[in-house]
Structure 1
Amino acid sequence: MGNSQVIGIDLGGTAIKLGRFSQDGSCLQSLTIATPQPATPEAVFAVMVDAIAQIDPDNQTIAIGVGTPGPADATRRIAQIAINLPGWQNIPLADWLEAKIGKPTIIENDANCAGVAEAWLGAGRQFRNFILLTLGTGVGGAIILNGNLFVGHQGAAGELGLITLQADGPMCKSGNQGSLEQYTSVKAIRRLTGKEPVELGMLAQSGDVNALAFWAEYGRYLGIGLTSLIYVLTPEAVIIGGGVSASVEFFLPAVKAEIAQRVMPTSRAGLQILPAQLGNSAGMVGAAKLAWELIRNS
């Protein structure tokens, strides 16, 4: 185990990120490749195998972790659904990779991977209990309880972006209506403003009144969604990640104000709301951590 290494993979709709990691979480080499379009399971698997060969030419690694954009099953071997990827229903990705590469493999939801990463090396290090929200194309979540990732009865717990915010709001791919995701994802921001989050961040930076008002309203929605989660879980911290978190300074005050008003002090004693620290690499870092755990527990 001394100088052995694992591979962490973050499978996304536009890019696949791979990293080779040592036991302390140092990334020794990384690689990003375009996700094939259409991103069918077979096409993705083929480029993944090729990329693994590139990042581990001397076959030094002992396990593989993969974060996928959707829930894994309870055994962490099957990608049950991959949101925004066509044809992904109950794909036994761990079996495929093990058969081809010959290394133990674990699959987990990408937001769960990000939560594991933040707990290991990021903003969650000092907490035993926290929740992570990833504000991206969709809105994902992770729940860390007593230092462990909580995955629930069949592995799919922590879909924090799919809680109901408005009973009759816009339809969500999940089948829910008016989910938190429909007000706080990148897609939602485009629908609500016709602009990209990056653009709205730059406008807010320059003092644009409309952009600042948008982010205040955005923070209000996020705060209302978080209120439900805080009442249920009473975490020590809420960590905000994903691409939209780049503008956290503009919406955090509204989030905090909403929570202060709506959540009883007993349910939020000492609660911290913090930006995530690992950015775009969180998915592959967390996948690598789960690969290490797989080896340790086998």
Structure 2
Amino acid sequence: MNQLIGVDLGGSAIKLGRFSEAGALLAELQVPTPQPAMPGAVTTAIVEAVQQLDPERLADRVGVGHPGPSDADGRVARIAINLPGWRDVPLADWLEPLLERRVTLANDANCALIGEHWLGAAREARDVLLLTLGTGVGGAVLLDGQLFTGHRGAAAEPGLIGIDPDGPACNSGNRGSLEAFCSRRGFDRLSSVDPAELCRRADAGDADALAVWQSYGRLLGIGVSSLLYVFTPELVLIGGGLSGASAHVLPAVWSEVEQRVQAVSREGLTIRRCSLGNGAGRLGAARLALERLGPGLG
């Protein structure tokens, strides 16, 4: 029974994987996130999905990544600004008796970074900043090989930094946050075309599409520049659904970084897309279950 389940809870989908302790994917499943994504409905959906993924109960530890900070013990989802009703939800306590498995929680971007550090694009790095571009803009920070979670586990939320004091309102209560500009909602202010279609047009050389992605990349680069001064990482990883256009976005990001950040604060810096795609979060959640919950029972 030395297997693990990783769950990545998103605003539109719940992605699950069953893994070996070495990180090999043994089975996977994706189900829609209930709408509205109230805590009780999501709990039921996770339980049903885990039972479907692992009917023979081959895994006894479950890691769950959720959009927002958890408490320091990995038991309580403190808040999720893009999901309704999520404030101090004891999700691990709810799930364990229903699943009859041990459960630990973590911020979804932290899970993605742990996954990339374990088996993905950050394997050789010690100081990493990750930004996930999707329904919101999540983020995580690795300092000297360890997750930076700050006071009571509430750090890091790099997507919520301000880049324009007069910008659009953010669900966090801030105005002009990086998330307000670079989330899917922020992207929709730049273009009414679906991002995947706009990426295809940019791949074909469409000038209007390329201009939209350049504008998006400039906004992202402004935020990245501020974060570089705080963390001076060796690697910045870009993930999430909007990262599919990274070939068109990253040149504009680099342009802003070179203009705004002193050379000593970006020395040796690499900025690239995550290598594990949408699977990073569930893999990292499984890894955290392995690290926090100890050896398997079988």
What TM-score bracket applies, with the shorter chain setting the length?
over 0.9
Runs of at least 4 residues off by over 4 Å: none
Aligned residues of 2:18 and 2:53 also touching (Cα < 8 A): yes
Aligned residues of 2:141 and 2:148 also touching (Cα < 8 A): yes
Aligned residues of 1:230 and 1:267 also touching (Cα < 8 A): yes
User: Corresponding residue for 2:111?
Assistant: 113
Residue among 89, 95, 101 paired with 1:91: 89
Q: What 5-or-longer segments of structure 1 have no aligned partner?
A: none
SS class of match (2:56): coil
d(CA) in 1 for partners of 2:219, 2:83: 28
Compute the TM-score of the two structures, normalised by the length of structure 1. 0.95
Aligned residues of 2:2 and 2:295 also touching (Cα < 8 A): no
Q: For residue 293 of structure 1, report the CA deviation from its aligned partner.
A: 0.6
CA deviation map 1:33-54 (0-9, x unaligned): 1222222211111121122122
Residue among 226, 229, 233 paired with 1:228: 226
Aligned residues of 1:123 and 1:277 also touching (Cα < 8 A): yes
Q: Which moved more, 1:97-106 or 1:115-124?
A: 97-106
Task: Supply the AA of the counterpart residue of 2:22.
Answer: D
The reply on whether 1:61 has 2:59 as its aligned counterpart is yes
Q: How does 1:143-158 map to 2 (within 5 A)?
A: 143-158=141-156
Task: Supply the AA of the counterpart residue of 2:138.
Answer: G
Q: For residue 219 of structure 1, report the CA deviation from its aligned partner.
A: 1.3
Residue among 101, 104, 118 paired with 1:103: 101
The reply on whether 1:40 has 2:35 as its aligned counterpart is no
User: Corresponding residue for 2:190?
Assistant: 192
d(CA) in 2 for partners of 1:44, 1:183: 28
Aligned residues of 1:98 and 1:104 also touching (Cα < 8 A): yes
Task: Supply the AA of the counterpart residue of 1:61.
Answer: A
Aligned residues of 1:189 and 1:196 also touching (Cα < 8 A): no
SS class of match (1:154): helix
Task: Supply the AA of the counterpart residue of 2:169.
Answer: M
User: Corresponding residue for 2:140?
Assistant: 142
The reply on whether 1:284 has 2:257 as its aligned counterpart is no
Aligned residues of 2:81 and 2:172 also touching (Cα < 8 A): no
CA deviation map 1:218-245 (0-9, x unaligned): 1111111111111111100101111111
The reply on whether 1:209 has 2:207 as its aligned counterpart is yes
d(CA) in 2 for partners of 1:106, 1:149: 16
d(CA) in 2 for partners of 1:215, 1:165: 18
Percent of paired sites with the same residue: 54
User: Corresponding residue for 1:240?
Assistant: 238
Q: For residue 297 of structure 1, report the CA deviation from its aligned partner.
A: 8.7
User: Corresponding residue for 2:160?
Assistant: 162
Aligned residues of 1:186 and 1:196 also touching (Cα < 8 A): no
Give the count of matched residue pairs.
296
CA deviation map 1:60-81 (0-9, x unaligned): 2121100111221222111112
SS class of match (2:149): coil
CA deviation map 1:254-275 (0-9, x unaligned): 1111111211111111000011
Aligned residues of 2:8 and 2:15 also touching (Cα < 8 A): yes
